[in-house]
């Protein structure tokens, strides 16, 4: 784990220093580069750091990075784009700078100092998050020894109470995102539902988060027909994990529900091979909920949080469920199954039904749920569906604060109409048009009329391309920052 700390002045121990280049009236200006350091630099190199940087194309434009060797150290100049960059712009700029020096080179990189002239808590937090998120590397499953990486990031700012809290928030948030990334990147043969339940327990207990794991016999006794149906084709049975954080003084209770399909073959409605390649990531919603509740406990947020991880492996076999099967969900609702590759809504229905029994003030589910969401909004923007305008606004505000892209989509009468069944209480789907809306309409049936939001993070949860800015290749941890921002706001 990379350490994140705060220092009142630039440390000589850092092997890499990142400073900002802001647009100015006549010329751009360096931000965060001390005059005494510049005098020493000029004595060694015959020119100021700004002059050296501009000779090799430094620009105040957002994210333009130039690296200047300085003996056994590196000085990194990054364009901030604005004279007063907003937190997300700052987060992205720092990420570009860190990615620019951690991607290779013949000199080890151990300690980065971020000296950007920061003085407000939001900017300090954004810079810390940007560095830690960009520096993430998944440790591969390998017999070979892995090279040591970045060990420490220092944010240079006046070390007052608000700055220290900002660093604490950045550390906890980035750690949570990177935990979710690690889980999503774990190969599916090494992360069956029982394995993910064990990892949830191992993460939760040191943070004083209570854990209860319902195994297959408990799921049978509880009538969790969605989980049992979806997991019925695998010899690695499903689990439902309940995580509870209930601090003294909490004024609100939020229930988080995460889809945790540890591998999705599509079941009997088998996916094409190319579409199956990334389906180890279909448990990203559960990973996000787990990471968020542990972060809430580590930050001692005064909000009660209950997280439900609905875990199953969706495989074809002689015991797999079928299209047209009728399944009884935990609350007694019977569901006509229309497609075994629409499994996520079935496991979420069980978990939403159970979560609603505790009458939380807010119910939020998050899932890599539909390809239709990707058609509607692409891979970078996530969908929000909500029971009402106030709940939607609450989630969208949290996403804006976190710097994550979400857009509200409606639940229409046409979508609800698509759920009518002739053989059961409800059908699990049936229309290609507006498929993400139909899925949301199905889920709302199991929310007991509570304030509720559904976050569809399909596409954004797993980056199949090259790493860039804040995003690594593979698991992205999308949604963690939004949930932590939501919980932080409710705790306040």
Task: Tell me if 418 sits within 8 A of 431, measured CB to CB.
Answer: yes
If phi > 0 it is left, if psi is from -120 to 50 it is alpha, else beta; for residue 477 that is left
Task: Tell me if 362 sits within 8 A of 356, measured CB to CB.
Answer: no
How many angstroms separate the CA atoms of 471 and 478, rounded? 9
Give the SS3 label for residue 371.
helix
For the question of residue 54 being annotated catalytic, the response is: no
Residue by residue, DSSP assigns 376-420 as: HHTTTSEEEEESSHHHHHHHHHHHHHHT--EEE----HHHHHTT-
From the list 54, 73, 164, 271, the catalytic residue is: 271
Q: How many helices (H) and strands (E) does the chain have?
A: 16, 20
For the question of residue 271 being annotated catalytic, the response is: yes
Give the SS3 label for residue 191.
coil
Report the candidate in 117, 70, 66, 74 with the shortest Cα–Cα distance to residue 96: 66
Q: Residue 77 has which token pair? A: 């100049």
From the list 99, 171, 345, 445, the catalytic residue is: 345
How many angstroms separate the CA atoms of 183 and 196, rounded? 8
Task: Tell me if 216 sits within 8 A of 174, measured CB to CB.
Answer: no
Residues marked as catalytic = 271, 345
């Amino acid at each position: 784990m990379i350490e994140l700390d705060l220092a009142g002045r630039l440390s000589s121990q850092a092997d890499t220093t990142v400073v900002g280049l802001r647009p100015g009236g006549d010329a751009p200006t360096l931000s965060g580069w001390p005059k005494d350091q510049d005098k020493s630099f000029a004595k060694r190199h015959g020119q100021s750091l700004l002059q050296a940087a501009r000779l090799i194309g430094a620009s105040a434009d957002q994210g333009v990075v130039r690296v200047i060797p300085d003996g056994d150290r590196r000085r990194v100049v990054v364009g901030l784009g604005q004279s007063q960059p907003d937190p997300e712009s700052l987060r992205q700029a720092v990420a570009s700078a860190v990615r620019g020096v951690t991607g290779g080179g013949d000199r080890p990189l151990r300690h980065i100092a971020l000296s950007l002239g920061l003085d407000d808590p939001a900017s300090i937090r954004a810079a810390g998050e940007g560095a830690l998120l960009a520096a993430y590397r998944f440790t591969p499953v390998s017999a070979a020894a892995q090279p040591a990486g970045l060990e420490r990031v220092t944010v240079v700012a006046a070390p007052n109470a608000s700055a220290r809290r900002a660093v604490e928030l950045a550390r906890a948030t980035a750690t949570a995102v990177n935990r979710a990334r690690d889980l999503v990147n774990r190969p599916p043969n090494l992360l069956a539902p029982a394995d993910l339940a064990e990892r949830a327990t191992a993460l939760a207990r040191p943070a004083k988060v209570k854990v209860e794991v319902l195994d297959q016999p408990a799921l049978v006794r509880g009538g969790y027909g969605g989980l049992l149906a979806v997991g019925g084709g695998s010899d690695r049975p499903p689990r439902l994990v309940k995580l509870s954080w209930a601090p003294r003084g909490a004024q609100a209770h939020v229930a988080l529900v995460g889809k945790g399909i540890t591998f999705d073959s599509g079941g009997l409605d088998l996916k094409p091979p190319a579409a199956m390649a990334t389906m180890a990531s279909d448990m990203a919603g559960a990973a996000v909920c787990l990471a968020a509740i542990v972060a809430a406990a580590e930050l001692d947020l005064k909000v009660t949080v209950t997280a439900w991880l609905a875990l199953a492996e969706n495989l074809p076999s002689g015991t797999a469920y079928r299209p047209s099967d009728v399944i009884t969900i935990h609350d007694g609702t019977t569901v006509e199954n229309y497609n075994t590759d629409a499994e996520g809504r079935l496991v979420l229905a069980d978990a939403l039904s159970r979560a609603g029994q505790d009458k939380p003030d807010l119910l939020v589910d998050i899932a890599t749920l539909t390809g239709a969401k990707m058609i509607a909004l692409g891979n970078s923007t996530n969908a929000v569906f909500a029971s009402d305008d106030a709940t939607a606004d609450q989630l969208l505000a949290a996403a804006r604060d976190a710097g994550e892209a979400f857009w509200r989509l409606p639940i229409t009468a046409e979508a609800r109409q698509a759920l009518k069944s002739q053989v059961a209480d409800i059908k699990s789907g049936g229309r290609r048009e507006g498929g993400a809306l139909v899925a949301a309409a199905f889920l709302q049936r199991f929310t007991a009329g509570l304030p509720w939001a559904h976050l569809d993070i399909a596409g954004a949860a797993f980056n199949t391309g090259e790493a860039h800015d804040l995003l690594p290749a593979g698991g992205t941890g999308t949604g963690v920052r939004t949930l932590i921002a939501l919980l932080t706001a409710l705790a306040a």
